[in-house]
Structures are given as C-alpha cells and as structure tokens.
Structure 1
Amino acid sequence: MAAAAAALREGRRTGAIQAVLWGLLVPLVSAQEGVLHAVKNDDPQLTRDYCIYYNENWTSIPSNLNNVTYTRLEILTPKLLCSRSDVTHDIKGKAVVAMRGNCTFVEKAEIAHSLGAKILLIASETGLTIPYGNKTKNVTILVALIRNEDIIDLKQALGKNVNVTLYSPPLPNFDYSMVIIFAIAVLCVSLGGYWSGMAELENLKTVSSSGSHDSSNNEENVTLTPLTVVLFVAICCIMLVLMYYFYKWLVYVVIAVFCFASAMSLYNCLSALIRKIPYGRCRFPCFNKFLEVRLLFLATFCIAVSVVWAVFRNENRWAWILQDILGIAFCVNFIKTLKMPNFMSCVILLGLLLVYDVFFVFITPYLTKSGESIMVEVAAGPFESSEKNDGNLVEASAERSAPHEKLPVVIKVPRLEFSTAGLCFLPFSLLGFGDIVVPAYAAGMVITFLALALMKKGQPALLYLVPCTLITSALVAWYRKEMKKFWNGNSYQVMDPMDSAANEENSTRANEQREGQ
C-alpha cells in the first residue's frame, strides 16, 4: 500500500505539472465569425442567414446590411476547385461555393480569383475554422468557410436563383464575460493561496509540537528551485513546438492528462472540505487499512465528472460548465501544491515565462510560412497541413486534423453579447490555466483585459501579469525592509507561546537596562 500510495502521489504530481504546461500554451483568443445573408432573387422576402468563418487579415467585410452589394450565388459542390477544370462555365463576378479538401484554402482562392469570382465560400463537412495560409495581396477575393449542411439547406429553401452578401456584426465594446473570467481567476488564486498557507501553518505546528519533520505533507508539494525552473520553461518550449507539428495526436494526450489531473484535483479540494465535517465517518477494512465510505463515494463522483466531460466535451451548450469546474479545482490544487523557495526562483521563472510568451506570440509569425504565431495556431488547433518537413507542406489539404478537438486546459465562459450566437457555435472567451497558476494577480488581469479590449485580438496574458506580480511583490518586501530575506528565502518556525512570552520579557529587560545606562 505504501508503494501504491507513493505511485499515486507521483502520478498526481506529474499529471498536474503536465496539465499546467499545456495550459501555458493557450493565450486569450477569439474567433472571427460572420453571416452569409442569402436572398431568393424572384422573392426578396424569402431570406436565410448562415454562419461563416473568415480571416480578418485576408478579408474585410461590412458590419451590417446597409448599402451592401449582392452577388449571384453559383454552387459548384461537390467539386473541390483544386484545378481550373472543375469550373465548366463562367463564374465571373459571382459568389462560388466549393467543397473543402484536397488543396489549401489559398490554392482555391487563387483559382477562383483567376476566373473572376468575387466571393469564395468553402463548404466544410468537418466543422468550421478560420482559413489560414500565405494569401498574397494580389488575390483580393473574399474567402469564408461555411458548413456544407447549410449549403444544402440553402438550396432546399431558396433554390438556385439566389443572391448573397457577407457581413460581420460588430462585437460589443466590452465583453462582459471577462468579468466572470476575472472573478474565477482571482478566486482560484485566493483559495489556492489561502489553502497553501493554512497547510504550511499546520505542518509547522506539527513540527514544532513533535520535534520531527512531517514528510507526509511535503510529499504533496512541488518545490521549484532555479534549476527546475529552467527545466520547466525548456519543457514548455519543447511541448509547444511538438504540439505545433503533431497536434492531431498530442491533443488526445492532453485530454487524457487533463481528465486524470482534474479528477484528482477535484477529489483533493472536496475531500479537504468533507474531512472538516464530523459526520458520516464510516470505515471498512481494505489491505490492512481502513477507508472512509464517504471518501470512496467522493472519488467515484470525481471520476464520473471527468468521464462525463470527456464523453461530451464537444457539446458547446453545457460541457464548458464541467470543464470550468474541473479547471477551477485543478488551478486551486496546483497553487496549493506549488512551492517557491525564494523570490529569486520566482523572478527566474516568471522572467523566462514572459520571454517564452512574447516570443511564441509576437516573434514566431515571422518564422512560420502561414504568418501566424505558433502559440495562436496551437491554441486554435493547427490545420492538417501544418505537419511540415524542412519547412514545406507535406499534405495538400488545409483541413484541420481534429476540427472539434481543442486544448481543454482553459477556463471557458460564453460571450454574453454576440450577434451571431444563434447561427455560429457558441463563442467563448478563454483564459489558459498557466495564466492563473503562474501567476494571476488582480491588477495584471485588469490590464490584460484592457489590452484585449483595445487591441481587439488575443493577448499573451503573462506579458502583463509578470511585471505586475514581480513589481508589487518587490515593493512590499522593500517597504518591510525584508528584501534580502525575500530574495534568498528564510527558514521560519512556529514558536511556543511560552517561549514567545519569555523572549518578549527578556527583550523588555534588555531595553530597560540600556535605558538605565
């Protein structure tokens, strides 16, 4: 049993570390949704609206239907438009629909543009994604993805004589879901920090009263020394690059790690509360030990929550609630478990993570052929053609390998105001676990959200969190004149009240003697 318990603790510790590493991959990201507005040519009162995804770096579309220009729709499906021979008649000035697959989005756009088409709609049977690729400035055609089932519905409802236009309703100036994310992040940090402090205090009291070090509590902790900090960040970089190249396999590894680590974390959080209740402590013998029935039921419940999420993880309407519950438990448990021996280790860790975040968000777009950052492509789920060999695409398809599979190590909150929410998949605001556990300081979070609102694009949260955390911590230590101890770390212990009183009395006598002299 001792060996099994040690293995369980090690597995829990490893799973937690792996999950937070994956969490560091995910910045605040947002999708680019729009609307295809279709009108029956001989009956303008008969209309249909459908969700589209577009790349705002490729395409600029109106924000409403005022003064828009309609274009005649030409449906080529099931043709793929990977060669000019797929088009047997004139499509000049028309909106063309072709099937997704066999060639990249850019290649389809170049062919449609060369034939004079005005709009290219790519019908997808595997889910909607933002079209990516190195589209040249000479190719000015509007490109968007649409569900193939919507094209089928359009043909059945409106027939063949249809005019269409694209528009993208503007997002609200302030995303109120950010308030919920802010509250969740600060709650996780507050609860995790309080739990960690109380656990450390209880351990110190035990050591003080018994005179021996209690190793059972320390086995649950992970202490990051300067060396392990460097290794930690190096592993983050390696994992991110591996995810960029091998997303379609590793995404399932991340899902499995998340299920294991979050179930264990939920059990740890709830069992800490249940043990405070002085009722229902029935036990039964098992391998020369006694197990509490209520904790066994609790373990079953936590596993069930994790399994239900894993099975229904792509159900946008409610699965995000389970993911957030598991994510909150994971973050609280990890903050309680993680130990920083001194401020020096903290500065090294956060400094390296800041460089890591900025490099993979802002610098890597200059290194990738698609022009997108490695961080954003991994967070959104790289497309199938992103498996590269010597920098060249080895597959022609631009479809994503696992279009419905996303990295689960994020807090997800649906946007409370969104004009296309009834058409598109429910849009979410996201915050990676890594931005909560390493670290999430309230002032830094506010600055992050302000930057997100002003720049209208995903932000590397650590760019704002790290300076706020380090500067405020250093200022507090400097004000208390404890900077040297804070930097190097300082051993401390819980003193006996009698000893404390005696020391205070001795100190008072010494002061009186000095005053008498």
Structure 2
Amino acid sequence: MAAAAAAAAAAAAAALARLAAAFLLLAAQVACEYGMVHVVSETGGPKGKDYCILYNPQWAHLPHDLGKASLLQVRDWTASVLCSPPDLPAKGFSNQIPLVARGNCTFYEKVRLAQGGGARGLLIVSKETLVPPGGNKTQYDEIGIPVALLSHKDMLDIFKSFGRAVRAALYAPSEPMLDYNMVIIFIMAVGTVALGGYWAGSRDVRKRYVKHKRDDGPAKQEAEAVDVSPVLVCVFVAMCCSALVLLYYFYDRLVYVTIAIFCLSSSTGLYSCLSPLVQRLPFGRCRVPDNSLPYFRKRPRVSMLLLALLCLAVSVVWGIFRNEDQWAWILQDALGVAFCLYMLKTIRLPTFKACTLLLLVLFVYDVFFVFITPFLTKSGNSIMVEVATGPSDSATHEKLPMVLKVPRLNASPLALCDRPFSLLGFGDILVPGLLVAYCHRFDIQVQSSRVYFVACTVAYGIGLLVTFMALALMQRGQPALLYLVPCTLMTSCALALWRRELGMFWTGSGFAVNTSLI
C-alpha cells in the first residue's frame, strides 16, 4: 500500500511539474509579441518598408502608432556581439538603434550595454529562428529601451534596398479583431457549398429517375456518383487520421506527393465544372477522326480536348509558381473551388443517417487533432494546425494546397511575421456540403420548395460566422467543424421534425415518392 501511495504521489508530482512547465511556456508565449521596424533611407531613396521583429514588451513597450515612434539612425554594429564594454564604440550609440549579432551572452547583457552607451533601442540580428528576448523582473525594471530580434535575411534586404545609411522606427500596431479577407473566404465557402449542393442534388435526382441513352456520342452519361456507406465512412476517417499523422512526421517528403495529387485532382475538377459550358457552345463541335487509340477512338470533340489541355495547363502553372504570394493564391483558390464542386458532385450521401455518421465522426476527428493533440506532441503544437500551416522547422518551406487562402488585407505584425494568409480547409466545405446536397435531393423528391436546401445553406453560413468569431476572440486556430456540424445537423433535423418528415428524412425514403416528379 505504501509503495502504491508513493507511486501515485510521484505521478501526481510529475503531472504538476508538466502543468507548471506548460504554464511557464504559455507565459513566455504571451510575453513575446510581433512588432515592426519601419526603415527609410537617409538619402531619400525608395519608399519606406516594414520588417518583422520579435520583441518582449516587458523590456519596454513599443508605440502602437508609427506616427508616435521616433525615427532614429541605425548603426550597423553586427561585427560585434556586444557582450562586454570593449565592444562599445568609442562615442557610444547616442540616439541610435544599433544592430548587433546574436550570441555569446544574454539579452540582458547586450541591452544593458546598449542602454549605457546611449542607444534608444536595440536590434539583435539572428541567423537562427527568432526567439523571445527574455529576462527576469529585476532586469526588466532596469532597462528602459526596447529590444527586439531581427532576422539576418531581413537585415540583408534592408541594406540592399536602402543602403547603409538608414533610419528606423520600432512600433507594434494592434492586431485587428477580424481581417477583411474573411469576407472573401466566407463568400467563396458559402458560394461553393450552395452551388455544389444545388448542382449535386439536381444532377443526382435527374440520374435516378431519367433514363439516359448510353452511347459514345455527345449525350454519353457522366460517371456514376459514389454512395457513402458506414463502412466507407470508417475507412475514410481512418485514412484521414493516418495521412495527417504521416504528414506530421514526414512532412518534407510527403508534401510534394500532396501537391502532385492536388494538381491532378484539381485539373480534373476544373474540367468537370467547365465541360457543361463548353458543350453548349455553338462552335468547336468537330470531332477527332477515326483512330484506334484507347481514349480517342471514341472521337471526342476537339473543344473538349482543348479544354482538358487548358485545365491541365492551369494546374501546372500553379504548381510551378505556387510560392508566388502575390498572385498564386488566386489560382489555388480557383482550382480548390473546382475541386470541391467536383467532389460534391461525385460523392453522395444516400440518407440523413449516413450524413449524421460522417459529420459526427469528422467532428470528433477535427476537435481531437486541433485541441487534444497539443497535449500529446513534444512541441505542444496542434497536429492539424502544424500540418495545415506548414511546420516551422520544415526544410522545404512548402505549404499544403488543400485550403482556400486569401492574403490578409490589414497591415499587422501577425500578417507580416507569421500568418500572411487566412486559411479554410477543403474539409470544412466538403463535409457540410455533402449534407447540403442531400437536403437538396430530398427537397426535390418531397416537393418542399427547396426549404431544406436553403435552411442548411443558411445554417452553414451562420456556423462559419461563429467560427470566425471564435477565431477572433481566441486568436488561435479553430476546428471549423466544431461549429459547422452542430449548426447544419441540428437545423436540418429540427426542420424535418417540424415538418413531420423526420422518418423519411432519416432513411431517405422520400426518394421512393412518385418518380414522375422530374
């Protein structure tokens, strides 16, 4: 009994130690903030530019407004690490902001010497990952000038763009509660769900009750949709979990595989979305001559071949220029929307029971990998967020393309330093979108004037707004399905209950209603 009690006490002590360590780490993260250094040339050259800095407000606060920040001369002293009095220049740093190299001593020793030499701030240049410039309370009270870390790459860009004679102002504008780019993401996401659900529902019902002539001509039937069974749901979720964990541990190797898959699938999706429009064009109806090639012997239209080449070219262009932050995100979003529409048209949930199973299982999956995995990883980071945004220690610096991304429209330190884009994963569109498509199919069959479809689409929009509010309030990545799944499922279920159609809605038996409706 005594041994068991001792073991329990030891386990409790270890748990408390881990909790204390987590608290200290959280405190360190809170103390560390991103800021900006605004650099201009003393000779009146190019327009000024902002660069990212990492600072600790416990040393000294930075003004929130650039107009209230002092524009001071920058002194390149990077040949020194500034760790001892002999490292100071003969005349000190009177009213200057010195640039010094990182290493060999503590941040406190550097900033104490800089302050004693008359400096008005200190920028420590680091070739490594930027870390919070920490100290203790006594040291914080002694220092009255700001100290921040600047990357070596940014320092080189400053001297290349502005020359050696530059002035700089340190400031830290407040982060906006919500960036305007969220409006663009909201329109794209809700629009894709609404259009995909409407298209998939109408197409699926038409294929159920209208007989198509199967031949090799223009009226050939499209590929059959894939019904999702409970077994398929379990297999799919297991594959998602495995893929996410593998990406977490082997990101640099698997990210290129994911990029290649995205290029292929998104070009297919773009072709699927544009082909109905091209087929209706009054020109370009000539066909390939008779031949024995596997695909071309069906004599496809030349316009469709040109469309296929165009879609493939768009995905290849994105693949080559995917890291061009200025414009590549537009191609990625266009391909992503096409991919989502294609998947919503191809994958079909036959009953509300299947919808509920899929959404609830993925709800648990999303919450687990965002909120629970930080307690299981050594770094304390969420596996989902780490994979979606790209690990900070990735050698490739590649990002997964399976997201809608829009650059931040507000100038802020977070946008400049850490997250220049706002992201929404394809799963946050596809999973609720499959329910929206089911609601549309059910609407048509029971002649309900698309009330289920509209209600579920509106519920999706409300759930997305709640997600954005949670993101703004918590300032951390959110599992969107945590809010989208309850909103869409509860709304659909409540509507079916109110209309006294829950039995038919649950089993999909409404599809057995009079087939002459179409």
The alignment's TM-score, normalised by the length of structure 2, stands at 0.69
Query: Unaligned 5+ residue runs, structure 2?
Result: 1-32, 113-121, 141-145, 215-219, 434-459
Residues in 2 aligned to 1:345 and 1:302: alpha-carbon distance in whole angstroms? 33
Contact preservation (8 Å) 2:40, 2:168? yes
Secondary structure at the counterpart of residue 87 of structure 2:
coil
Moved more, 187-196 or 54-63: 54-63
Partner of 2:276: 272
Of 364, 374, 384 in structure 2, the residue corresponding to residue 375 of structure 1 is 384
Moved more, 183-192 or 165-174: 165-174
Q: Which amino acid aligns with 1:377?
A: E
Residues in 2 aligned to 1:363 and 1:134: alpha-carbon distance in whole angstroms? 29
Query: How far does residue 470 in structure 1 lie from its aligned partner after superposition?
Result: 0.8
Query: Cα–Cα, structure 1 residues 450 and 277, in superposed 2: closer, same or farther, change >3 Å?
Result: same
Q: How does 1:21-36 map to 2 (within 5 A)?
A: 34-36=35-37
Residues in 2 aligned to 1:443 and 1:455: alpha-carbon distance in whole angstroms? 18
Of 158, 172, 189 in structure 2, the residue corresponding to residue 153 of structure 1 is 158
Matched, 1:460 2:479: yes
Moved more, 327-336 or 372-381: 372-381
Query: How far does residue 493 in structure 1 lie from its aligned partner after superposition?
Result: 4.9
Of 221, 245, 255 in structure 1, the residue corresponding to residue 249 of structure 2 is 245
Query: Cα–Cα, structure 1 residues 208 and 283, in superposed 2: closer, same or farther, change >3 Å?
Result: closer
The alignment's TM-score, normalised by the length of structure 1, stands at 0.70
Post-superposition Cα deviations, 1:9-43, rounded to whole Å, max 9, x if no partner, equal xxxxxxxxxxxxxxxxxxxxxxx864113589x99
Secondary structure at the counterpart of residue 431 of structure 1:
strand
Q: Which amino acid aligns with 1:273?
A: L
Residues in 2 aligned to 1:155 and 1:298: alpha-carbon distance in whole angstroms? 45
Q: How does 1:433-444 map to 2 (within 5 A)?
A: 433-439=426-432, 441-444=460-463
Q: How does 1:96-495 map to 2 (within 5 A)?
A: 97-98=100-101, 111-113=105-107, 115-117=109-111, 121-123=124-126, 131=130, 144-146=149-151, 148=153, 150-151=155-156, 153-154=158-159, 157=162, 159=164, 166-207=170-211, 219-284=223-288, 285-287=290-292, 288-384=297-393, 400-403=394-397, 405-418=398-411, 427-439=420-432, 441-490=460-509, 492-493=511-512, 495=514
Residues in 2 aligned to 1:359 and 1:172: alpha-carbon distance in whole angstroms? 28
Query: Cα–Cα, structure 1 residues 191 and 422, in superposed 2: closer, same or farther, change >3 Å?
Result: closer
Residues in 2 aligned to 1:57 and 1:341: alpha-carbon distance in whole angstroms? 56
Contact preservation (8 Å) 1:248, 1:401? yes
Query: Unaligned 5+ residue runs, structure 1?
Result: 1-31, 100-107, 211-215, 385-399, 501-517
Contact preservation (8 Å) 1:134, 1:369? no
Post-superposition Cα deviations, 1:399-430, rounded to whole Å, max 9, x if no partner, equal x3122x21111112233332579977993222
Contact preservation (8 Å) 1:112, 1:120? no
Post-superposition Cα deviations, 1:338-388, rounded to whole Å, max 9, x if no partner, equal 11122222222222222222222222223333332222222221133xxxx
Partner of 1:64: 65
Query: How far does residue 465 in structure 1 lie from its aligned partner after superposition?
Result: 0.6
Larger helix fraction of residues: 2
Partner of 1:387: none
Moved more, 59-68 or 222-231: 59-68
Q: How does 1:40-55 map to 2 (within 5 A)?
A: 49-52=49-52, 54=54
Query: Cα–Cα, structure 1 residues 48 and 283, in superposed 2: closer, same or farther, change >3 Å?
Result: closer
Contact preservation (8 Å) 1:317, 1:426? no
Query: How far does residue 496 in structure 1 lie from its aligned partner after superposition?
Result: 6.0
Residues in 2 aligned to 1:86 and 1:456: alpha-carbon distance in whole angstroms? 40
Query: Cα–Cα, structure 1 residues 136 and 439, in superposed 2: closer, same or farther, change >3 Å?
Result: farther
Residues in 2 aligned to 1:52 and 1:318: alpha-carbon distance in whole angstroms? 22
Contact preservation (8 Å) 1:33, 1:424? yes
Query: Cα–Cα, structure 1 residues 231 and 95, in superposed 2: closer, same or farther, change >3 Å?
Result: farther
Query: How far does residue 314 in structure 1 lie from its aligned partner after superposition?
Result: 1.2
Secondary structure at the counterpart of residue 291 of structure 1:
coil
Post-superposition Cα deviations, 1:201-226, rounded to whole Å, max 9, x if no partner, equal 2212334999xxxxx96854232222
Post-superposition Cα deviations, 1:118-141, rounded to whole Å, max 9, x if no partner, equal 75645559xxx8x57998989989
Query: How far does residue 303 in structure 1 lie from its aligned partner after superposition?
Result: 0.5
Contact preservation (8 Å) 2:407, 2:422? yes
Residues in 2 aligned to 1:294 and 1:45: alpha-carbon distance in whole angstroms? 53
Q: Which amino acid aligns with 1:252?
A: Y
Query: How far does residue 195 in structure 1 lie from its aligned partner after superposition?
Result: 1.4
Q: How many residues are matched?
A: 428
Residues in 2 aligned to 1:218 and 1:243: alpha-carbon distance in whole angstroms? 34
Residues in 2 aligned to 1:87 and 1:205: alpha-carbon distance in whole angstroms? 87
Query: How far does residue 173 in structure 1 lie from its aligned partner after superposition?
Result: 4.0
Query: How far does residue 255 in structure 1 lie from its aligned partner after superposition?
Result: 0.9
Contact preservation (8 Å) 1:204, 1:493? no
Residues in 2 aligned to 1:259 and 1:336: alpha-carbon distance in whole angstroms? 19
Residues in 2 aligned to 1:98 and 1:317: alpha-carbon distance in whole angstroms? 32
Q: Which amino acid aligns with 1:486?
A: F
Residues in 2 aligned to 1:163 and 1:410: alpha-carbon distance in whole angstroms? 39
Residues in 2 aligned to 1:224 and 1:142: alpha-carbon distance in whole angstroms? 57
Q: Which amino acid aligns with 1:236?
A: C
Query: How far does residue 485 in structure 1 lie from its aligned partner after superposition?
Result: 2.8
Query: How far does residue 450 in structure 1 lie from its aligned partner after superposition?
Result: 2.1
Identity %: 44
Contact preservation (8 Å) 2:248, 2:383? yes
Query: Cα–Cα, structure 1 residues 371 and 424, in superposed 2: closer, same or farther, change >3 Å?
Result: closer
Secondary structure at the counterpart of residue 316 of structure 1:
coil
Query: How far does residue 46 in structure 1 lie from its aligned partner after superposition?
Result: 12
Query: How far does residue 317 in structure 1 lie from its aligned partner after superposition?
Result: 1.5
Contact preservation (8 Å) 1:97, 1:123? no
Moved more, 182-191 or 298-307: 182-191
Q: CA RMSD in A?
A: 4.3
Residues in 2 aligned to 1:45 and 1:313: alpha-carbon distance in whole angstroms? 32
Query: How far does residue 475 in structure 1 lie from its aligned partner after superposition?
Result: 0.8
Query: Cα–Cα, structure 1 residues 373 and 56, in superposed 2: closer, same or farther, change >3 Å?
Result: farther
Q: Which amino acid aligns with 1:51?
A: Y
Secondary structure at the counterpart of residue 370 of structure 1:
coil
Residues in 2 aligned to 1:422 and 1:449: alpha-carbon distance in whole angstroms? 17
Secondary structure at the counterpart of residue 251 of structure 1:
helix
Query: How far does residue 300 in structure 1 lie from its aligned partner after superposition?
Result: 0.6
Residues in 2 aligned to 1:436 and 1:56: alpha-carbon distance in whole angstroms? 38
Post-superposition Cα deviations, 1:451-501, rounded to whole Å, max 9, x if no partner, equal 22333333221111111011011112212222223223337357465xx8x
Moved more, 217-226 or 43-52: 43-52
Query: Cα–Cα, structure 1 residues 187 and 163, in superposed 2: closer, same or farther, change >3 Å?
Result: closer
Q: Which amino acid aligns with 2:87?
A: H
Query: Cα–Cα, structure 1 residues 156 and 195, in superposed 2: closer, same or farther, change >3 Å?
Result: closer
Partner of 2:23: none
Query: How far does residue 63 in structure 1 lie from its aligned partner after superposition?
Result: 2.4
Secondary structure at the counterpart of residue 404 of structure 2:
strand
Q: Point out which structure has higher relative CO (alpha carbons under 8 A, 6+ apart).
A: 1
Moved more, 60-69 or 295-304: 60-69
